[in-house]
Amino acid sequence: MSQEVNKELSLLCCILRENEIINATLFQSFDKIFEIAEKFIEKYGVDKIEWGVEMEYEETVVDFATLYIQNINKELNTEKQCDIHVVVGSTVTETKTRLLASTEFHCSKCNTIHTKSPYAIAQRSMNVDLIFTCDCGNKIDV
């Protein structure tokens, strides 16, 4: 590995860590962070792109990592669907089936579709199970 690549990998790992892309301890998350950094270099190369300002580079890294983690989760999650009840007063007038995106989950108690936070998505990619408490009080495995 060239000095240049080493330096770039180190910088990427720092950025990923600093932006808390994976919310776990350093030792729990490092392998995954390093993997993302390698994939980033695979895609963008080293110094092949003239980044406008420092911020643009960092944003690109964060966007890339977020997408990468989402794709891992997409492979983990099979497609899920949920029933949405249309309620008038206390009567269910209609039941619709809706396919959930990999970033969504459904509260069957109050019929709300929630979007997973980047934090939850990152935790899931580390195989950490989270319990989400809905506004209605229902607890949901995320």
User: Is 24:128 a contact under the CB 8 Å cutoff?
Assistant: yes
Burial 15-32 (b: 16+ CB within 10 A, else e): bbeeeebbebeeeebeeb
Residues numbered 117 to 136 that lie near Zn ion (CB under 5 A) are: 134, 136
Q: How far apart are CA 8 and CA 1, in angstroms?
A: 11
Nearer to Zn ion, 98 or 109 (CB): 109
Minimum CB separation from Zn ion for residue 138, in Å? 4
Which of 6, 71, 133, 138 is in the footprint of Zn ion by CB under 5 A? Answer: 138
85 binds Zn ion (CB under 5 A): no
Minimum CB separation from Zn ion for residue 85, in Å? 12
Residues numbered 92 to 111 that lie near Zn ion (CB under 5 A) are: 107, 109-110
Q: Which of 86, 44, 78, 79 is nearest to 61 (CA)?
A: 44
- For Zn ion, the binding residues (CB under 5 A) are 107, 109-110, 134, 136, 138
